Amino acid sequence: MRTRVFAAAAGIAIYAASLHAATFVVPDDRTFLQRADAVVIASPLASYTRLTGDRFVQTVTTFSIEEVIKGSIDASTIDVVEPGGIFEAKVTIIPGVPRFQDGKRYLLFLMHADEAWHVRDLALGKFSFTTDVVGRELLVRDEDEISGWDPDGSPHIEPHRSASQFLLFLRRAAHRQFPVVDYPVSKDPLVISTSSLTEPLSAVSPMSASLVPRITTTFSATSYTFILSGTLGARWNVFPAVVTFFSVGTEPGAPGLGATAINAAIAAWDNDPSSNVNYAYAGQDLTGLHNGGVSTPDGQNTIAFEQDLSSFGAGPFSCSSGGVLGIGGVTNASGTHSGPNGEMFYTTLEGDVQMNQGIANCTSLFNSGDFNSAVTHEVGHTLGFRHSDQTRADNPAVPCSTDPSLECSTVAIMKAVIPNGLNGTLQAWDQHAVDAVYPGSSPAAPPPPTGVNARAQSPPLTVLVTWNLSTGATSYEIYRRAPGASYLLIGTVGATATSFT
């Protein structure tokens, strides 16, 4: 087995409970403006949580309106309702749902549904005013929360937008003019706090620099999960006994009316040879009694099609312009149990997936296999898995690379922005996650190497990494990262090697 070497870095975590995440096909800005009922520049004043009649937590935030770019809002304030939050002992955090900081300015694309205002299409409808390192004022989305593709099927790459030029575009487009798209700018780093970053090696005297990397031979099972509460994740504790899923409704135009995507998703997670996951698809639920979806436990695991997600701020999906594809995760968990390596987890009792209305007959989505990937991604969240390129906390401002206890990957079914063309096939990170959280019968991992040291050499400025051999290791992987960036593999050496430059 391979061992991995990483430089140390700090990480942060927040707690959550019921866990869900969304996937998107991201529309262009002009189309998104047309689909919004209102667009405003606003700042949050206060917020509170409430429990709906079906015991789903919502957060209500009151905003002071600075400018109405589109829509008819006469008041100086507006209440925006979003799913999730903390109400007494019940906690629901949904990755992809916008969160706000007091005193900050936001550009919000809104929709009106259920007699309330919601941010349109979850994370897509929230833009924050910020500044980059070259001094430009920008409007940016929480791009780490956006999991999906462009309408043509290519992976979505979220741009940075000049605030002044983007607002000018929106004001003109809202009045049925046809302004040019001249607001994307180069993606220079944003001005953020760097207190959690380690000092760059280039800032240290090359003759005296000495680094002691953090070594991880295998990442903990917990490290692959979302935080449910405190520091604990959630997992099923019944495997290899079967966990049954039913479908609710059908997906017109999709192979097998959606059943093919369900079977592909379940097979992807079940067929990993080193894990004991045992999901099964039992066909359609014909009782009509299990419509709680991700918001309300109803005693049955379901994958539902053509669902009204307006309570999440998501309008119907459009085959031509995109939108929210679906949302899924752990709907109910209670009690704790000891899992792999004696790690403690909350016990998952129910998982659900809801795919948005409007996906019907989206031929390109079905033919590309991206629909299979989207369902597989959401089913992965029902197993408790986090995004492969994000931390365990639901905070898009903190990249995975800031926490050396986490394996990070930009090519995975569980990546926040799912690569196209995977057709529901697990990648290396996904396999590592399911093997760690739900291990089957496999050989024990070798112990970490001891005596690891990284020392800067001069001249020229290089780094010599040395270590003692680890019994049972067949190779060693050496990783490096720049502050704020992801870890990169810089070398692989054989079982007898004890150094790398």
96-107 confidence digits (pLDDT tens): 678 888 889 999
Torsion sign across C-alpha atoms 433, 436, 440, 443: positive
What residue numbers bound the domain in which 422 lies?
221-438
Q: Kindly calculate the radius of gyration of the chain based on its CA atoms and give it in whole angstroms.
A: 23
Question: Do residues 245 and 290 both lie within one domain?
Answer: yes
The mean pLDDT value for 7-32 works out to: 52
Q: Which amino acid is at 460?
A: P
Q: Which amino acid is at 237?
A: N
End-to-end CA distance of the chain: 21
DSSP codes joined into one string, 263-329: HHHHHHHHT-TTB---EEEEEE--SS----TTTS--SSEEEEEEE--GGGT----BTTTBEEEEEEE
Question: Do residues 277 and 366 both lie within one domain?
Answer: yes
pLDDT of residue 485: 58
Largest CA-CA distance found in the chain, in angstroms, rounded: 74
DSSP codes joined into one string, 37-60: SEEEEEEEEEEEEEE-TTS-EEEE
* Last-in-domain residue among 140, 159, 175: 175
Question: Do residues 425 and 457 both lie within one domain?
Answer: no
Residue 27 lies in a domain: yes
Q: Which amino acid is at 199?
A: E
Place of tokens 């924050």: 128
Question: Do residues 233 and 166 both lie within one domain?
Answer: no
Query: Is 50 exceeded by the pLDDT of residue 214?
Result: no
pLDDT of residue 62: 96
Rounded Cα–Cα distance for residues 276 and 155 (Å):
31
Residue 387 lies in a domain: yes
| More confident site: 436 or 421 | 436
- Which of 248, 250, 246 has its CA nearest to residue 361? 250
Torsion sign across C-alpha atoms 268, 273, 274, 280: positive
Burial label, 445 (beta-carbon count in 10 A; 0-12, 13-18, 19+): middle
The mean pLDDT value for 248-267 works out to: 96
DSSP codes joined into one string, 433-481: HHHHHSB-S-PPPPPPPSS-EEEEETTTTEEEEE----TT--EEEEEE-
* Last-in-domain residue among 112, 147, 175: 175
Residue 201 lies in a domain: no
Rounded Cα–Cα distance for residues 384 and 346 (Å):
10
| More confident site: 118 or 90 | 118
The mean pLDDT value for 208-229 works out to: 66
Query: Is 50 exceeded by the pLDDT of residue 198?
Result: no
Report in angstroms the alpha-carbon separations of 446 from 3, 116, 313: 8, 55, 47
Place of tokens 């059908």: 250
Burial label, 367 (beta-carbon count in 10 A; 0-12, 13-18, 19+): exposed
DSSP letter for 249, please.
S
Report in angstroms the alpha-carbon separations of 292 from 217, 233, 297: 41, 22, 6
Query: Is 80 exceeded by the pLDDT of residue 382?
Result: yes
Weakest mean pLDDT among 126-130, 254-258, 461-465: 461-465
Place of tokens 């770019």: 69
What are the tens digits of pLDDT across the range 99-142? 888 889 999 999 998 889 999 987 789 999 999 999 999 999 87
pLDDT of residue 412: 92
Question: Do residues 165 and 255 both lie within one domain?
Answer: no
| More confident site: 64 or 83 | 64
Question: Do residues 142 and 247 both lie within one domain?
Answer: no
Cis peptide leading into residue 439 (ω within 30°) = no
Residue 195 lies in a domain: no
Question: Do residues 407 and 282 both lie within one domain?
Answer: yes
Rounded Cα–Cα distance for residues 420 and 80 (Å):
33
Q: What percent of the chain clears pLDDT 90, i.e. is strictly above it? A: 47
Q: How many helices (H) and strands (E) does the chain have?
A: 6, 27
Question: Do residues 95 and 29 both lie within one domain?
Answer: yes
Residue 193 lies in a domain: no
Q: Structural domain tally of the chain?
A: 3
Average pLDDT, the chain: 81
What are the tens digits of pLDDT across the range 298-355? 889 999 999 998 888 788 888 887 878 888 888 888 889 999 999 999 999 999 999 9
- Which of 386, 300, 282, 356 has its CA nearest to residue 121? 356
Residue 319 lies in a domain: yes
Q: What percent of the chain clears pLDDT 70, i.e. is strictly above it? A: 80
pLDDT of residue 376: 96
Give the orientation angle of helix 259-270 with respect to helix 370-382, to 10 degrees: 60
* Last-in-domain residue among 438, 461, 490: 438
Confidence grade of residue 397 (pLDDT, cut at 50, 70, 90): low
- Which of 243, 363, 362 has its CA nearest to residue 303? 243
pTM of the model: 0.65
Rounded Cα–Cα distance for residues 265 and 463 (Å):
43
